[in-house]
Structure 1
Amino acid sequence: TANTMNCLTEALGMSLPGSGTIPAVYADRRRLARRTGEAVVRLLRENKTAGQIMTPAAFRNALRVDMALGGSTNSILHLLAIAREAGYQLTLQEISAIGDATPQLCKLNPAGPDFITDLNEAGGITAVLAELAQRDLIETAALTVDGSMADRIFGNPGADGRVIRPIDAPYATDGGLAVLTGNLAPEGCIVKKSAVLPEMMCHQGPARVFDSEEQVTEAIFSGRICPGDVVVIRFEGPQGGPGMREMLTPTSALAGMGLDNQVALITDGRFSGATRGSSIGHVCPEAAVGGPLALVRESDQILIDIPARRIELLVPAEELAAREPAPKPDRGLRGVLARYERQVGASSQGAGLIDPSKETRP
């Protein structure tokens, strides 16, 4: 996630070229730090603000780079939240459309063999931008901290052919991240499809339902999760957690036990950027606010169809309407956490804090 956001900050135009990929131990990073300080002083003198740079076009550019890289699923949360603070109402529907139209040019760890250092040697984010611009997928008039996006990519050769594939020979014709919708996630959920094995792109299986990360971790280590299962971890969303924890332990355990090619995982929580496999997160609405995850029962059949962008609970609508949602666990919260629980927004909007004066939740 840190690598992804570093790259996207550069793609947004909010940092200098090279900022996203130069390794911390390189002398180039020290030189870049000095140039960054000089740029800050210049921007202050020119009265150039972040709001002038972080326009809707800049966010679209960042999202296209995200899709081309196959970045962390957390980047979707962060971009939604940052855009909201910048006054731009970015939506999952817009993100989905961008993803469907943007080819995946890189396969970085854990989805593939290359690392951020390899991307740096291949030309970094500027090369990715230049390659995408060949299909007019980059809005080159967007401002940056050092000029415009057009200035950055002018004369750049683009893809190196190995780490960054040519746009006419991508890893996939669509992006590395996908938004799924369906009766289990009416407002959407996120999957890093670039890290999903081909045999798990479409999967149907029985739900194994857990109300916390700790519960599912114990079940995995005790051997109670079987090939074909669909693990459901609920009440781990922004309000339910509260705080939307990373489900790193269960996803790592499934991968370590060789089950990531046979078991899917669905949660209203989120994942580490290092997660691989059919791990579907940010399910919205979350269980804590009465979302469909709260209606799932043990052994219900769940269908995941990533190519079709669908996620469905295969239970008749009449039966679902008759079910009582699972009760939200009492976390015994007080103080700041209790206040956060009351005021945090939905993951589909970046899980930022909502205006208390406009709060409608009980």
Structure 2
Amino acid sequence: MRERKKPEDLRSARWFTPDDLRSFGHRSRMMQLGYGEEDFANRPIIGVLNTWSELNTCHAHFRERVQDVKRGVLQAGAFAVELPSLSVDESFIKPTSMLYRNLLAIETEEMIRCHPLDGVVLMGGCDKTTPGLVMGAISAGVPMIYLPAGPMLRGNYAGKPLGSGSDAWKYWDERRAGNISDAEWLGIQGGIARSAGTCMTMGTASTMTAIADAMGLTLPGASSIPAVDSEHQRMSAACGRRIVEMVWEDLTPDQIITEAACRNAAVVAMATGCSTNAVVHLIAMARRAGINLTLDDLDALGRITPLIANVRPSGKDYLMEDFYYAGGLRALMKQMEDRLDLSALTVTGKTMGENLQGAKVYNADVIRPLSNPVYEEGSLAVLRGNLCPDGAVIKPAACDPKFHVHQGPALVFDSYPEMKKAVDNENLEITPDHVMVLRNAGPHGGPGFPEWGMLPIPKALIKQGHRDMLRISDARMSGTSYGACVLHVAPESYIGGPLALLKTGDIVRLDLPNRRLDMLVDEGELAKRKAAWVAPAPRFERGYGHIFLQHVTQADKGCDFDFLETDFGRSAGEPEIY
């Protein structure tokens, strides 16, 4: 730990302390806001980066929760300022919120860099806000603590618990099969999302906040607290108090986000039944910290890490509210502490091992012991082969085991509208052995890498009673999704990856135990197809979309912008003050 700072060492002191014209202007503008020097002078200034918006349902409580954070900052003798940040929500942004994760990261880094902030509280939770905020804060380098939004209350309809996303897909298939009435469909619609907060399944939101927790970036166990529980208010105030101490201690992200922390986060993600999106975001976060975490690293951890969180969609019975009352993430980590690096430093200033002391499991069916896992291996597996030389991802625990080894003819779609029209055709010529393929849906093709990978089961098969089949795409899928879906095929088809060469009728083979995904097509034939392939026009020709296409990396590299990674060039550093 570094030596404690003195007031004159504060970053904000450069803005407010000197007896010169520039600092006079800074102080006078603070007074214009109604503050006196006793409010902001000689004390840390804490930025509260709030991703609240009226269209972000996951963060609906953040308008009030920011006041709890500011209360904690004030209690600790510092000054808090709220800065609104880009609110990247899943529900309403088209074509995908992933298009804007890196924009949030840029905004976060630059807002911290250019303002007189000594430390920051990052308020996020909805899928892309966690990695976006953390990536930007890593690059900015000031003390930071992450405040997770928390999951919403469990859904309910007709006495049955509903899980957001997962049950939407399930009941939509039944609706398409003619098994759900209009009244039932309306009841499910009103009962599946009952409060502020993120999806209450172990979707991408709960996965990413758990990763932040396991990485040591939150107060211990903060990721599990339901959004509307009063404990969430107390945790928010505690974040405000703790960030002030972190400033005095000069506890910066580089001391916390180490190889050990990233490994801990990956192991915990596997044990929770994490979203497939964790792969892209965790790699991107690690690379921002200069840590070369790879797909192969994650696959190796997946092979030896059992799934012990019995939470949908990988688990069978429970939701995040049940997980919290069963002991939450601290209890899960305590169950597997011999697989973690307990010496890793956290935002508390203590090690992970110290933070886990006293954690207990209160329901051994929700949080299983290692001796009785939900699934023997972790929730993710990485595939390679002539369809995905740079990798693809599948969630074995969330699909029918009969598809772990499967071979069948491809049915290829070049666009989402084409695929959607086909699956609603009751006369579509398709069998359960077919392999549905959607291409041109990656970072360039989507554009932005949309969540289209859980392709709907064709109505022709639904009416025959089928609810799963092998599906392949270069898209992502929602963390609440399930099924035999191979995702993140890299390199993507839109830039000429092998998926662009696949034709309807070609035989595709998945061999999950051997981590292979191949098209059984002669190499000579593939060479002819490659020579005949013509690159499509870019999806964007101006604006932010153009920047995105020029600089986004592929899925196996985390889809960050190349110019934001640590080895691209020298950081801009601290702004000069004249």
TM-score (structure 1 length as normaliser): 0.92
Q: d(CA) in 1 for partners of 2:437 and 2:243?
A: 46
Query: What's 2:486 paired with?
Result: 280
Map 1:187-202 to 2 at 5 A: 187-202=390-405
Q: d(CA) in 1 for partners of 2:421 and 2:454?
A: 10
Query: What's 1:121 paired with?
Result: 325
Aligned with 2:537 (options 319, 322, 330):
330
Aligned with 1:228 (options 429, 433, 438):
433
SS in 1 for 2:313: coil
Map 1:181-220 to 2 at 5 A: 181-220=384-423
8 A contact 2:307–2:375 mirrored in 1: yes
Could you give the per-residue CA deviations for residues 251-274 of structure 1, whole angstroms, max 9, x where no partner exists? Answer: 47779765442x211111100011
Q: d(CA) in 2 for partners of 1:320 and 1:40?
A: 56
1:195 to partner: Cα distance: 0.6
Q: d(CA) in 2 for partners of 1:334 and 1:23?
A: 42
Aligned with 1:132 (options 306, 312, 336):
336
Mapped pair 1:31 → 2:271: no
Query: What's 2:144 paired with?
Result: none
Q: d(CA) in 1 for partners of 2:282 and 2:541?
A: 29
Query: What's 1:296 paired with?
Result: 502
Mean Cα displacement is larger for which, 71-80 or 329-338?
Answer: 329-338
Mapped pair 1:264 → 2:466: no
Q: d(CA) in 2 for partners of 1:332 and 1:239?
A: 7
Could you give the per-residue CA deviations for residues 169-222 of structure 1, whole angstroms, max 9, x where no partner exists? Answer: 212221011111111111111111111112222221111111122221111112
1:332 to partner: Cα distance: 5.0
Name the aligned partner's letter for residue 34 of structure 1: A
Unmatched segments (≥5 aa) in structure 1: none
Q: d(CA) in 2 for partners of 1:152 and 1:253?
A: 48
Map 1:22-101 to 2 at 5 A: 22-101=225-304
Could you give the per-residue CA deviations for residues 43-81 of structure 1, whole angstroms, max 9, x where no partner exists? Answer: 111100112111111110011011101111111111011
Q: d(CA) in 2 for partners of 1:308 and 1:92?
A: 15
8 A contact 1:252–1:275 mirrored in 2: no
Could you give the per-residue CA deviations for residues 286-341 of structure 1, whole angstroms, max 9, x where no partner exists? Answer: 11222110110111010112222211111122222222364444355221212211
Query: What's 2:547 paired with?
Result: 339
Q: d(CA) in 2 for partners of 1:97 and 1:284?
A: 19
Name the aligned partner's letter for residue 231 of structure 1: M
> Taking structure 1 as reference, are residues 177 and 45 closer, same or farther at Cα in structure 2, changes over 3 Å only?
same
Map 1:136-147 to 2 at 5 A: 136-146=338-348, 147=350
Task: Work out the number of aligned pairs and report it.
Answer: 355
> Taking structure 1 as reference, are residues 330 and 5 closer, same or farther at Cα in structure 2, changes over 3 Å only?
same
8 A contact 2:407–2:510 mirrored in 1: yes
8 A contact 1:159–1:166 mirrored in 2: no
Name the aligned partner's letter for residue 178 of structure 1: A
Unmatched segments (≥5 aa) in structure 2: 1-203, 569-578
Mean Cα displacement is larger for which, 147-156 or 222-231?
Answer: 222-231
SS in 1 for 2:292: coil
| Matched-pair identity in % | 37
> Taking structure 1 as reference, are residues 212 and 159 closer, same or farther at Cα in structure 2, changes over 3 Å only?
farther
Q: d(CA) in 2 for partners of 1:125 and 1:290?
A: 41
Runs of 4+ in structure 1 off by over 6 angstroms are 252-257
8 A contact 2:246–2:347 mirrored in 1: yes
8 A contact 1:185–1:284 mirrored in 2: yes
Aligned with 1:242 (options 440, 444, 447):
447
> Taking structure 1 as reference, are residues 353 and 259 closer, same or farther at Cα in structure 2, changes over 3 Å only?
farther
1:18 to partner: Cα distance: 2.6
Q: d(CA) in 2 for partners of 1:295 and 1:113?
A: 41
Mapped pair 1:320 → 2:526: yes
Query: What's 2:558 paired with?
Result: 350
Q: Which structure is higher in RCO with an 8 Å CA cutoff and minimum separation 6?
A: 1
Q: d(CA) in 1 for partners of 2:228 and 2:456?
A: 30
Aligned with 2:515 (options 303, 309, 334):
309
8 A contact 1:230–1:264 mirrored in 2: yes
Query: What's 1:165 paired with?
Result: 368
SS in 2 for 1:323: helix
Q: d(CA) in 1 for partners of 2:456 and 2:208?
A: 22
8 A contact 1:129–1:158 mirrored in 2: no
SS in 2 for 1:20: helix
Structure with the greater alpha carbon radius of gyration: 2
Query: What's 2:217 paired with?
Result: 14
Q: d(CA) in 1 for partners of 2:452 and 2:519?
A: 21
TM-score (structure 2 length as normaliser): 0.59
Name the aligned partner's letter for residue 314 of structure 1: L
8 A contact 2:304–2:378 mirrored in 1: yes
SS in 1 for 2:218: coil
Mapped pair 1:109 → 2:312: yes
